[in-house]
Every structure is written in C-alpha cells, then in structure tokens.
Structure 1
Amino acid sequence: MKTIGKIAPLLLALSTVSPLVLADEFSDVYRSYQQAWESGNNIEARGFAEKAYSLGEAKFGKDSVDYANLGLNLAKALRSDNSGDFAVNRQRATEIATLSLASYEARFGEEATDLIDPLMVLGDVTQDSKTARKAYQRALNIAKDSGKGDLLAYTRMNAFKRLARTEYYTSAVYGYIRDAHEYFAQHRPANSAVRLEATYLLAGAHMGNAKYRKAEPLYLEVIEQYKVLDYTHPYALGAHSRLVELYERMGKSELSTEHCIAIGSMKPWDDNQEQTPLFRKNPEFPMELVRRGKSGWAEISFTVDEMGMVRDPKVLDSEGGKGFEKASMEALSAWRYAPKFEDGKPVKAESSVRLDFRVER
C-alpha cells in the first residue's frame, strides 16, 4: 500500500544521522526502539525511547531538530505505555512534545509545514482537550495554506480521530473525516491503507449519529478490501463487530450472523474468560423493585450456538427477587456473540454472565 510521502513516520526521522553516530551506543538503542515500536511492545519502546532521548541530547544538542524528533518519539511512547501512572505519563509527554514543537518553530518558523507532525503529536498526547483542539487547529491552518491535498486530508483525518472523542466534537469536526474520505476515495486506490482508515472512521461517525444505512456500505467496503489483501486487520475485525450491532439495531438479526461467525474465526475463544458480547441489550430494571429501592443481581449460564446466538439460558444464582432473573433472561436472549471455532468450524460453547441491578441512593 502507498503511504503519504510528506507525513514521514517520526521513528524514521533520524535516517540522515552521520555514519559515525550510527556506529555507537545511540545507534543500537535507537534501533531497539524502532523494533519495539514497530512490533507494538509499548513498554520496551518507552524504555528505549527514554534512553535514546537521553543519549541524543549529548549527540545532537538540546536545540537540534534531531533531538526534538527523539522527544516526539518519547512523547508518543509515553502515551502508548499503560504500565505506569497514566496521568503522569500524559503530562510528561505533553511537556516533552511542547519542547520539541518549540525547537521546530525556532528552526522552521511558525507557519512551516514541518510543524504539522509535532503539532499533531502534541494534540494526541495531551489529556487537555482544549490544548488538543488548539494544536490541531494550527496544524489544519498550515495544511490548508500549503495547497497540498494529501497533507490536508491526512491532517483532517487525524484531527477527527482526536477531537471526535472530546467536548469539541461538532459538525465541523465531522466534516474533517467526510472531506478526508472524499479526497482519499478520489486519489488513492481502494486498498490503500489511508483510504481504508478514512472509510472506517467515516463509517464510525455515521454509526455514532445512528445513520446506519450510510455506515453499512462503508463497513462492508472495509471488510471486502481486507479480504482482497488476505490478512486480518483490526479495522476488518472492527467492521464486522460494528455491523453486528448495526444489523441488530435495524432489526436484521439474520444479516448479523455472518459477521458473528467471521469474528469467531478471526478471534480465538478463551474458555477461561467471560465472553464479551458483540451486541447486548440492557436489561430493564423492574419498576416495582425500583420503587422499593431494591438492588440485586442474577447470574445466568447459557450456550452460544454456531451462529453466535444465546440458547438455553438458565439461572445459576440470584439476589433480590425473581424480577431480576426475568429481566436478565429477557435481555440475554437478544445478545449476540462470536461463536467458538474448532478445526475451522463454528461449534456450540458454554458461557455465563452476571447482571447487576443497582439503585443509586
């Protein structure tokens, strides 16, 4: 698949380092960082990014762009590593990304396209939505002024990804992914990674607005293209999962079955874990028990059949009254799961779940 030439991954930003530097300890540490990052080992990536950042200060100087790139790598690694204190990591990532951005501004000025990468990293790593919006707005303005369609579409897509989950999600932010998708659909082949990402994200935007008929063909397009590419991708798995929910909400359970089965074939069943439903209907709290201020729970065993449907639910235990048992059984009958696979075929499997009913006092 093609990638956008202008937005080069930051992990390759030091490809022009001199041969003398590449032969020393820094080179080994940086290479280890690259390998860990590319393999998704976030804890190791963070450790190597920390060391590279420390070594880089002496090698390149604190005000150099090379050192700033190492800071951006570390900021992203801190954001991705969930093993430590989340808030502390995000705060430190924000501080480092801000310092890196300042180095870029000192080198290239405040309107250069070179600032788009560090601005997006800052927007992504900060916990503060206002800071994220400000960073992405600057990046978008620079991208617009550049006159480069690829750059603007890519920046819009990333701005949507970050701002869609904040209080600043508006019709304008929705427009970012709509416009990005339109551009990539016109200028990228159907199996392009960036086009498929934009397609998946636009489908999600439609799904969130309950525009199921608009979301459906987009999710199907993602699935079809990854079939052609012949490998499993998280977006393909996600598209199958969202289509299960979509069809159930549209009252088309028969269409969701093939996607339940597809997920089952892609994702191994773990007998030691409680299975997560692809679609769940929340139980209705019995009004009589609400009026009495009564809380309770019900534990139900059931069979997930070859089509991912719930069969033979039975009450294992409960507390609070029969009303909770009945509400749990009724809700559970509408749930959908990915079936268990054995020897390449879907089979029945046993599972259980506990549903809790609580009255807030």
Structure 2
Amino acid sequence: MKRQQLALVIGLSLSTLSTYSLASQATNPQVNFSQAYQTYLTAVEENKNVKQAAELAYTLGSANYGEESDNTANLAINYAKALHSDSSDSEEQRYALYKQAHDILVKNHGNKSVETLDALLGMASNTQSDREAANHLEHMIDIAAEQDNPKLVADMQFEAASLLAQKFTSKKYRKAKGYLEQADKYYQANLHENSVDRIKADFLMASFAEGRKKYNQAIERLNRVVSVFDNNLNFDHSAELSAHSKLIGLYEKQGKSDEATKHCLAIAKMVPWKESQEQKPLYRVNPDYPSHKAKQGRSGSVAMEFEVDTAGFVKNVSILDSDGGVSFEKSAIKAVEQWRYAPKFEKGQPVSATSQVRLDFRVNP
C-alpha cells in the first residue's frame, strides 16, 4: 500500500493571499471596504468573480488606507493577480499595478526588502523586455541572498528559471538554465524526494533536457516523479498524469514504443474511457503535407475510423470520408498509425475500442 506522505499543490505562485486584518471603515453609503474585502476572499475561495471583487477591494482600499500604505500595495498585487493573462486584460495594466505596489513597498521598507519580492516577480512577468525581466529577477535573487535563507534563494532561482524559460527562452536560455541548475542542486541536497519543490524542479529539468534532445535525462527525471507518486500516494494526481503523458512522447521519439505502452496503460487506469467523445491521442505525429498539393495551394481533409488496441496502438485504419485526393489520405493514415492512446478499460482490463478522427490540410495564406 502506498504511504500518504505528500500533499501536492503544483504551481508557480510565489505567495499565498494575505489575510491581514483590515479595519472596517465606510467609504460609500452602500458598501464599505471590509465588506468588499470579505467578498474578495470568498470569490477567491469559490474561484468565482475574482476580478470584479479584487478591483472593488483595491479601489475602496486605496481610498481607505491611502496611496502609501502596505495594505494598498497588497491590494494592488491581489488585483493584478486577478487579471489573468488569458483574458482581455492588458499586460500593461497588470504591470502598472505591480509597479505601484513595488514603489510603495520600496518607500516603506527599502529597495532590498523581502516585502518587494512579489511585486518584482509580477513586473518581470508582465514586461515584454527580456532585459528588464532579467534585471527584476536578478534583483529578486539578490534580496533573497541577503536574508541568510538558502531555501528562499533556491525558490527565487526556480521562479526566475520558470519565467525566463516560459517567456524569454530564445534570449535568456542560458540564464534560465543556470538558475534552474542552482535551485535543483539545493533541492536535491536538502529536501526530501517527496517535496513539491523537487517535483516541480524535475518537471522543468525534464523540459530543458527534452529541448536539447537529451531524452534519457528527461525520462530519468519524469520516471522519478512517477515513482514518488507510486510509492507515497494511494490516489491519482494531475502531476502524475502529466508525467506519464510526457514519458509516452519521449519514449516514442526514441522509437521505444514498448516502453511507452506501460504509461499508456497507467493513464487508462487513471482516466476513464468516455464513450460520448472521441479520445485524444497521448502522442501524435502531424501528417506531412503532400508537396505537390502544397505547390498547387490545394487543401483537403480526411476522416478516419480505427481501432485502439489493448496497448493503445492504432490499428485497422479506414477512410470514412475525404476531400482533396489520395495523397492526403495516404499522409493522414501514415500519421495516425503512429499515434498512441490510452486503451479502453472494462472491469479492470484493457480492451480494444473504435475511435475516429478528422485531419484537415490547409495551406497557410
């Protein structure tokens, strides 16, 4: 039986929301700040209407506490975090809120205070300048280094590596890799193998290794993640699912389909087969665009039906419908035959099942 030793929350958030006590003072006949802030905390807990609640708390809090208060700075950070990057909210707006918070905290605590770390990371995350981002992150690490807290330094190095790798990989690859290696070295030497920080570092180290086509190194890291979950938890976790999925792709890139199979089966046990929708491939190869069709500017599409066998391989592909000619069909079949799926499970055993997919070939304008 697996030992329950690990409670994981995978994420790169630098800090949790502050729950500092705030005085209740009316700033509006209809609503006061304390009510607005409580509404914000509830919105965060329920993950509903967070942006609107954060904006109201920030607006009323700024008026309530003044433009130079730590509380105003913290409310600005909360509001900035609520403006998600995948929405229509502008990066400039988030940056301005983090900068406002940083300016306040620097004035109140100094340019090298730990209070400024969240704002520095926020500014680095919301600038298009790789140089500016790198400067903010370096300053963040320098502040941590002055606290006589090696773990904090490693955490800031990991945050910096994560951001640079995600947003400025082409320009700051070496710096990101250096930060990550330093953080990983500390984590391995000082933290238990089950720690969240080590698992996050394993994922990022695997990503760097895969990017350099050092697949064996990436596989070693991800297999360690899988073993941590297998040995310590008796329930499934999204991080374990992600590790299995990445391992399938890595083994297939090396032509080691048999090694990939056990991870297809592991995912199948974790994620029930859904009869109501087509299964998504765990590993896919994009079809080659027939060269003569590309030269002619011809588009096409191919709808196929196939069997996903008990090991997650694609077998017995047949054409349901196609448009554009035989060359599109041949290319589509060749690609799909290399895909891998999680097989269907019935009564605890893998069984073959039928699935379908449609591939569209479109010439970019």
Give the TM-score band, short-chain normalised: 0.7 to 0.9
- SS state at 1:282 partner: coil
Q: Distance in 2 between matches of 1:343 and 1:128?
A: 55
Task: Select the residue among 304, 309, 313 that pairs with 1:305.
Answer: 309
Q: Distance in 1 between matches of 2:22 and 2:44?
A: 23
Task: Select the residue among 33, 37, 60 that pairs with 2:40.
Answer: 33
Question: Conserved in 2, the CA contact under 8 Å of 1:112 and 1:142?
Answer: yes
- Note the 1:205-216 alignment, pairs <5 A: 205-216=208-219
Please, what TM-score do these two structures have when normalized by structure 2? Answer: 0.85
Q: Distance in 2 between matches of 1:348 and 1:156?
A: 47
**Higher RCO (C-alpha under 8 Å, 6+ residues apart):** 2
- Note the 1:151-170 alignment, pairs <5 A: 151-165=152-166, 166=168, 167-170=170-173
Question: Conserved in 1, the CA contact under 8 Å of 2:162 and 2:176?
Answer: no
Q: Distance in 1 between matches of 2:23 and 2:272?
A: 46
- Residues 34-70 of structure 1 deviation map (CA, whole Å, 9 limit, x = unaligned): 454356x2x5222322222123223332211112111
Residues 300 and 59 of structure 1: is their aligned pair in 2 closer, same or farther, counting only changes over 3 Å? same
- Residues 224-243 of structure 1 deviation map (CA, whole Å, 9 limit, x = unaligned): 21231334333212111110
What is the aligned partner in structure 2 of residue 110 from structure 1?
Answer: 111
Which range moved further: 235-244 or 27-36? 27-36
Q: Which amino acid aligns with 1:201?
A: L
Q: Please state if 1:9 is matched with 2:15.
A: yes
Alignment size in residue pairs = 348
Question: Conserved in 2, the CA contact under 8 Å of 1:76 and 1:125?
Answer: no
Q: Which amino acid aligns with 2:285?
A: K
What is the aligned partner in structure 2 of residue 188 from structure 1?
Answer: 191
- Residues 249-270 of structure 1 deviation map (CA, whole Å, 9 limit, x = unaligned): 1111111111112222323444
Q: Please state if 1:119 is matched with 2:125.
A: no
1:31 Cα deviation after fit: 4.5
Q: Distance in 2 between matches of 1:2 and 1:316?
A: 47
Q: Distance in 2 between matches of 1:298 and 1:50?
A: 48
- Residues 3-31 of structure 1 deviation map (CA, whole Å, 9 limit, x = unaligned): 9xxx972402x33x25768xx96455444
Q: Which amino acid aligns with 1:287?
A: S
1:341 Cα deviation after fit: 3.8
What is the aligned partner in structure 2 of residue 57 from structure 1?
Answer: 62
What is the aligned partner in structure 1 of residue 28 from structure 2?
Answer: none
Question: Conserved in 2, the CA contact under 8 Å of 1:90 and 1:125?
Answer: yes
Q: Which amino acid aligns with 1:246?
A: L
Q: Distance in 2 between matches of 1:243 and 1:294?
A: 36
Task: Select the residue among 176, 180, 197 that pairs with 1:177.
Answer: 180
1:332 Cα deviation after fit: 0.6
Q: Which amino acid aligns with 1:59?
A: N
Residues 236 and 126 of structure 1: is their aligned pair in 2 closer, same or farther, counting only changes over 3 Å? farther
Q: Please state if 1:340 is matched with 2:344.
A: yes
Q: Distance in 2 between matches of 1:359 and 1:193?
A: 44
1:75 Cα deviation after fit: 0.8
Q: Which amino acid aligns with 1:354?
A: R
Q: Distance in 2 between matches of 1:286 and 1:118?
A: 51
Q: Distance in 2 between matches of 1:305 and 1:49?
A: 50
Which range moved further: 117-126 or 237-246? 117-126
Task: Select the residue among 334, 359, 364 that pairs with 1:355.
Answer: 359
Which range moved further: 281-290 or 115-124? 281-290
- SS state at 2:82 partner: helix
Question: Conserved in 2, the CA contact under 8 Å of 1:10 and 1:69?
Answer: no
What is the aligned partner in structure 1 of residue 83 from structure 2?
Answer: 78
Residues 36 and 141 of structure 1: is their aligned pair in 2 closer, same or farther, counting only changes over 3 Å? same
- SS state at 2:319 partner: strand
- Note the 1:221-232 alignment, pairs <5 A: 221-227=224-230, 228-232=232-236
- SS state at 1:169 partner: helix
Please, what TM-score do these two structures have when normalized by structure 1? Answer: 0.86
Question: Conserved in 2, the CA contact under 8 Å of 1:49 and 1:77?
Answer: yes
- SS state at 1:168 partner: helix
Q: Which amino acid aligns with 1:223?
A: V
Question: Conserved in 1, the CA contact under 8 Å of 2:206 and 2:221?
Answer: yes
Where structure 1 has 5 or more consecutive residues not aligned to the other structure, the ranges are none
Which range moved further: 272-281 or 327-336? 272-281
- SS state at 1:318 partner: strand
What is the aligned partner in structure 2 of residue 330 from structure 1?
Answer: 334
Residues 9 and 172 of structure 1: is their aligned pair in 2 closer, same or farther, counting only changes over 3 Å? closer
What is the aligned partner in structure 1 of residue 52 from structure 2?
Answer: 47
State the identity %.
35
Question: What RMSD, in angstroms, separates the aligned Cα atoms of the two structures?
Answer: 2.7
Task: Select the residue among 250, 253, 258 that pairs with 1:249.
Answer: 253
Q: Distance in 2 between matches of 1:61 and 1:158?
A: 31
- SS state at 1:284 partner: coil
